[in-house]
Amino acid sequence: MGAMEREWRAIKADAGDPARQEAVIRNIDLMIRESAISKLGVPGAIRRMPAEKQAEAVKSYHAMMLSTIKTLVALEEAVVEKKAEEIKKCIEQLDELEKKGHAEFLPEQR
């Protein structure tokens, strides 16, 4: 998921610029791919939990990752349709998902 940092920064800088649309869409697609790959794995933070807590944590992790993928798809649609308000809303939602996801599943690094 480390590669997402650069893509996410570029998306936030360029999402509202129609001249950068192709590059923005490519970066969103890269993030969708990386999110799907992350969803296929189990984060270290969950593997270190007591066995009986892991199933519930994986469920919550999957739900949050699915929301991330859905919001990235919505962001791509908003960029294609040049809907500035919708672009802003999706970016805010993704910032929130990142914050929550890392607080919950990347605790040792935050």
Using the rule CB under 6 A, is 5 a contact of ligand HEM? yes
Question: What is the helix (H) or strand (E) element at residue 53, kind and residue range?
Answer: helix 51-80
Question: In the structure encoding, which two tokens stand for residue 98, read together?
Answer: 């990142």
- How far does CA 94 lie from the centroid of its chain? 6
Q: Considering only the stretches 12-20, 21-29, 48-56, 58-66, report the one whose residues sit in contact with ligand HEM under the rule CB under 6 A.
A: 58-66
72, with CB counted inside 10 A (0-12, 13-18, 19+), is buried
Q: Considering the complex, state which of residue 19 and residue 37 has its C-beta at the smaller distance from ligand HEM.
A: 37
- How far does CA 58 lie from the centroid of its chain? 16
Using the rule CB under 6 A, is 108 a contact of ligand HEM? no
Q: Considering only the stretches 3-11, 13-21, 51-59, 82-90, report the one whose residues sit in contact with ligand HEM under the rule CB under 6 A.
A: 3-11
Taking a C-beta distance cutoff of 8 angstroms, is the pair 37, 29 a contact?
A: no
Taking a C-beta distance cutoff of 8 angstroms, is the pair 4, 34 a contact?
A: yes
Question: In the structure encoding, which two tokens stand for residue 104, read together?
Answer: 């919950």
Using the rule CB under 6 A, is 90 a contact of ligand HEM? no
Indicate which single residue of 15, 24, 68, 75 sits in contact with ligand HEM (rule: CB under 6 A). Answer: 68
Residue nearest ligand HEM by beta-carbon distance: 101
Q: Considering the complex, state which of residue 19 and residue 98 has its C-beta at the smaller distance from ligand HEM.
A: 98
Give, as ranges, the residues between 27 and 56 that touch ligand HEM (CB under 6 A): 43-44
